[in-house]
Structure 1
Amino acid sequence: MTQMMQNSDTPQNAYHYGVIARAIALIDSAEETLSLDALAAQLGMSTAHFQRVFSAWVGVSPKRYQQYLTLGHAKALLRARFTTLEAAHVAGLSGTGRLHDLFVRWEAMSPGEYASGGAGLEILWGWFDSPFGAVLVMGTDKGICGLSLAAEMGEDAAMDDLLARWPAATFAEDPERLRPWVLAAFGMDRTLERAPLYLIGAPFQIKVWEALLKLPEGHVTTYGEIAKAIGTPKAVRAVGTAVGRNPIGYLIPCHRVLRKSGELGGYHWGLPIKRAMLGYEAARAESR
């Protein structure tokens, strides 16, 4: 069962994302821009209540947010806020995002530990609410090592996905041990200093994930730019595979990677969630 975080009436909870997810589905299926009244009616809500919930979650009006969900906006974002990862890092941009300030340290398994499939490793897990629906979070005593968003794939598939990554590990349900890190990671408790990460992956994967952590909120990049940034410009396909195997989606922001054409591409936890994340961050960046 999903654990409620503190302040369950905050804009960042599963109910609000559920409304957004249904609104996105309606926007996708519509042949033209839907009015506020039309969206609210199809969701079975009053116009005023829908406006409050929607604006509280994303910070802009439903009409404005619809613009953030289009392919045209993704392309505009790529043109206007595209930065090479190296340039962003040199310019200090990696420190401007909310999440980057939280992750003041991270550790990685050794290649040998990774090859063992997590043998001898105890991994704790728990279900929580997040700004993007129910989220399964896993962690060791060193930090968060896994995160799976269940809004699209379902809770059983989300659990199976993470369990299969470290088949030899021992797993124990203990949400209370993880709760402080989860609250910090999703901005639910800003008094906490950090949400440490423990990256469990092959060396090449970890290089890709480390590069993603340098990408600021509100910016996007391409698979090719990541390949260049880690010194393997011809390994675009391998980079795509590593991005897709990211075990800590959103916290390691693989949703900020687009195809060179500006198309969104795929997303391990569901394309609607990727679109919601990009729109959410673009709206937040504009409001700042």
Structure 2
Amino acid sequence: MNTQERLDFTRIAEAITYIRQNFKRQPGLEQIAEKVGLSPSHFQRLFTNWAAVSPKKFLQYTTIEYAKKMLKEGKASLFDTAHETGLSGTGRLHDLFISIEGMTPGEYKNGGENLSINYSFAGTLFGKIIVAATPKGLCYMAFADDEQEAFDALRLMFPKAAYQQQADEMQKKALSFFSRDWNEHDPIKCHLKGTDFQLKVWDTLLKIPMGQLTTYGDIAALIDNPKASRAVGSAVGDNPVSVLIPCHRVIRSSGELGGYHWGLTRKTAIIGWEAARMECAE
């Protein structure tokens, strides 16, 4: 690391410390930039390059993590939580939760208490799978080598939701991935919980054509964050709708397959199956 890089790192570390210590005051870009002795535009570029998110987004993440802690403890109302985190009211708290968590603060606080989720297990060419849906759309799809472990992982997302083990039309539509004619595209509505960055990565995964592969670096470039390959990898790994959101189509720039939560043998098989289907369709 050269002298300039050390100086830049020191400034970013100082900015992060300042944001974490003062997030309740919701400091603006100009205020944070002044603290580290840079112009707002220069600081914006530098921080984004180093942290892979903008200063505003980092402030939002810091704020919402504190809000989530308060709501989990159950000791504060939504109004008190908004006030304590430096937000002007419950409206801003609501907007922040929708943007970062994909749900309202009330839904987060209640752990999905008023949410109804149908789930079922089904056999596929690549092993048993669990698929679940809310009234808003598909919320979970994963390989289920152990049914209890698979259900427990689903329940962690919405611990207080009401679960019914029954198949519905949303689940059937999702499972048709393994049998339908891919010349006939039938959109599937999803109900996903994730940060803005995760949702952006997952949306990019959906644009990878069947039978083709891409790299973590390519995805980072597509979302205009070329230095965020590692963060992209984490977001790909957190994908809640396996296969349908095709995280298996992402490999390392070296050509190696990289990781896969359900094993490289399964990843290789899915990639080969898709390539064969596309070849037959030509």
Task: State the TM bucket, normalised to the shorter chain.
Answer: 0.5 to 0.7
Q: How does 1:45-64 map to 2 (within 5 A)?
A: none
CA distance in 1, matches of 2:279, 2:178: 20
- Tell me by how many angstroms 1:252 deviates: 0.2
For structure 1, the residue ranges without an aligned partner over 5 or more in a row are 1-108
- Tell me by how many angstroms 1:124 deviates: 1.3
1:138 aligns to what? 132
Tell whether the 8 Å contact from 1:114 to 1:202 is kept in structure 2 after alignment. no
1:154 aligns to what? 146
Q: Which amino acid letter does the alignment assign opposite residue 144 of structure 1? A: L
1:224 aligns to what? 217
CA distance in 2, matches of 1:189, 1:176: 21
Task: Flag the structure with higher helix content.
Answer: 2
Tell whether the 8 Å contact from 1:221 to 1:256 is kept in structure 2 after alignment. yes
Of 230, 255, 273, 1:237 maps to: 230
Q: Which amino acid letter does the alignment assign opposite residue 205 of structure 2? A: L
Percentage of matched positions with identical amino acids: 45
Tell whether the 8 Å contact from 2:118 to 2:167 is kept in structure 1 after alignment. yes
CA distance in 1, matches of 2:117, 2:259: 28
Residue-by-residue CA offset, 1:111-158 (whole Å, 9 max, x unaligned): 3517615453222111112232211001111221100112xx422222
CA distance in 2, matches of 1:176, 1:121: 16
- Tell me by how many angstroms 1:192 deviates: 9.1
Of 144, 153, 157, 1:165 maps to: 157
CA distance in 1, matches of 2:161, 2:251: 33
CA distance in 2, matches of 1:256, 1:189: 19
Residue-by-residue CA offset, 1:76-114 (whole Å, 9 max, x unaligned): xxxxxxxxxxxxxxxxxxxxxxxxxxxxxxxxx653517
Q: Which amino acid letter does the alignment assign opposite residue 202 of structure 2? A: W
Query: Which 4+ stretches in 1 moved above 6 angstroms?
Result: 189-192
CA distance in 2, matches of 1:203, 1:163: 22
2:166 aligns to what? 174
- SS of the equivalent of 1:219 reads coil
Q: Which of structures 1 and 2 has the larger relative contact order (alpha carbons within 8 angstroms, sep 6+)?
A: 1
CA distance in 2, matches of 1:201, 1:143: 15
Aligned residue pairs total 178
For structure 2, the residue ranges without an aligned partner over 5 or more in a row are 1-97
- Tell me by how many angstroms 1:226 deviates: 0.7
Q: Which amino acid letter does the alignment assign opposite residue 196 of structure 2? A: P
Q: Which amino acid letter does the alignment assign opposite residue 174 of structure 2? A: V
Q: How does 1:202-281 map to 2 (within 5 A)?
A: 202-281=195-274
Tell whether the 8 Å contact from 1:212 to 1:252 is kept in structure 2 after alignment. yes
- Tell me by how many angstroms 1:233 deviates: 1.3
- Tell me by how many angstroms 1:277 deviates: 0.5
Task: Compute the TM-score of the two structures, normalised by the length of structure 1.
Answer: 0.56
* Structure 1 residues 159 and 282: CA distance shift in structure 2, 3 A: same
Residue-by-residue CA offset, 1:178-223 (whole Å, 9 max, x unaligned): 4432343333588894432222222111110000000001111111
The structure with the largest alpha-carbon Rg is: 2
2:7 aligns to what? none
CA distance in 2, matches of 1:133, 1:276: 11
